[in-house]
Amino acid sequence: MSDHAVYQVLDLIKSVLVADAAITGWNIVTDRSADDAFQEEEMPAINIYAESLSINTAMMQGVVVYEAMVNCDVLRMGDAIGQLSRKTLEGVGLIQRSIRVSFNSGVGPLSVLQSIEEEDVAPPMETGLNVSGASLQYRVVFYTPTDDPFTITPAN
């Protein structure tokens, strides 16, 4: 069986970042929870995961509207903890640019989404290591058919 649509969204975001030559060399994952420790050899890393998911079946007939809060944690070793270093913000900027270009083009992998908007940047979730970084949070809206939470209904 297919993944739930929210996991497909995470994989779409990952595919956009992996395809960006400016992000080459980063370990980009969608299969780790926020509290899984990353090892030094896995850095720098971008951990993409859904923090929450709201479901609304009443707005439109025939579709379910999902609103997911998706975090892209930029994890690095060697920077000061609790600060947004230049290198960390460079990683945040690369993610922002990549996602904006893909979504705004209307033809990239993210074109199936209704919207994807940045919410904020904050320290990443504790990962069990003395790592620094930032968590870039997105509000992502997408639709599925009422009877099929495994299929994203493309944006109009």
Q: What is the pLDDT of residues 28-62, one digit of tens each?
A: 999 887 777 788 888 889 999 999 999 988 666 78
Cα-Cα end-to-end distance for the chain:
26
What confidence score (pLDDT) does residue 17 get?
96
For the chain, domains (ranges, CATH) are 5-145 (3.30.2000.10)
Between 156 and 26, the more confident residue is 26
Q: Among 58-67, 70-79, 121-130, 143-152, name the most confident range.
A: 143-152
CA distances from 34 to 6, 124, 136, 140, 141 (A): 16, 8, 13, 18, 21
pTM for this prediction: 0.89
What confidence score (pLDDT) does residue 30 get?
93
Using H for helix, E for strand and C for coil, what is the string for 9-49? HHHHHHHHHHHCHHHCCCEEECCCCCCCCCCHHHCCEEEEE
Q: What is the pLDDT of residues 59-116, one digit of tens each?
A: 667 889 999 999 999 888 766 666 677 788 888 999 999 999 999 988 889 999 999 9
